[in-house]
Amino acid sequence: MATLAFALYGMWNDFIPEEWLPWWGLCVSAVLAALLTGWLTWLILSGRNPRYQRGATDLIVLSPLMFVASGGFLWMALVHGAAGAYTRLFGTTHAEVATLRLAHRYGRECHYQAIGWRLNYAMPGHLCVRSSYYESFPRHRVEMELRGQRSAFGFNVSSMRHRADLGP
């Protein structure tokens, strides 16, 4: 249940992990996903799970899918959820100036986004901005001060403040 909570928090939080964290998280989540997949496969093949009525051939297809799905879920919980929660709770107050580009996109998320800098490590790779902020700077390059908490795992952005319009 805690893994689900961390994964959901990681999807909601504006956390930018350090460069090493996504790769470390990939290795750890791959090992954990392999252990989980192996254990569940063993439970099914040894007959300890009588509710599984499909054959072993279906298990050959389901096991890799289970590995990928659980690995991705664990990666999100570790890299963005647990590290982001730790940074928010125990990180030091930090402010950083970043050059960002404003973009207008359609989709399920916010329509007006600030992208660039180290946000490609974040999940999602942008910060949401108001439409009035987007329209105030028609050249769409701005310098913003990002405030939040910082730890060895990364930077948790809790607020943004405009510094300068940089033009094209």
Secondary structure of residue 60 in the 3-state scheme: helix
Q: Diameter of the chain by CA atoms?
A: 66
Q: What is the pLDDT of residue 108?
A: 65
pTM, 2 dp: 0.82
Report how far residue 26's alpha carbon sits from residue 24's, in angstroms, rounded to the nearest whole number: 5
Position 39, amino acid? W
Residue 22: pLDDT band (50, 70, 90) is: very high
Report how far residue 25's alpha carbon sits from residue 18's, in angstroms, rounded to the nearest whole number: 11
CA angle 154, 111, 130 (to 5 degrees): 75
- Lookup: tokens for 23: 């790769």
Q: What is the pLDDT of residue 53?
A: 66
**pLDDT higher than threshold 70 for residue 157:** yes
Q: What is the pLDDT of residue 65?
A: 93
> Helices marked H in 46-161 — which ranges?
56-75, 83-90, 131-136
Q: What is the pLDDT of residue 140?
A: 85
Higher pLDDT, 151 or 4: 151
Distances (CA, A) of 151 to 17, 85, 88, 112, 122: 9, 11, 9, 28, 15
Per-residue pLDDT tens digits for 42-62: 877 777 666 666 666 777 888
Per-residue pLDDT tens digits for 92-131: 999 999 988 888 887 667 888 888 888 888 888 888 888 8
**pLDDT higher than threshold 90 for residue 85:** yes
Q: Determine contact, residues 160/133, Cβ cutoff 8 Å.
A: no
Higher pLDDT, 55 or 18: 18
Report how far residue 46's alpha carbon sits from residue 49's, in angstroms, rounded to the nearest whole number: 8
Q: What is the pLDDT of residue 55?
A: 67
Q: Determine contact, residues 159/147, Cβ cutoff 8 Å.
A: yes
Mean pLDDT of the region 8-28: 92
- HSE-CB at 13 with a 13 A cutoff on CA atoms is 29
**pLDDT higher than threshold 80 for residue 151:** yes
**pLDDT higher than threshold 80 for residue 66:** yes
Mean pLDDT of the region 57-74: 88
Secondary structure of residue 146 in the 3-state scheme: strand
Question: What is the rounded average pLDDT for all residues in the chain?
Answer: 88
CA 90 to chain centre: 19
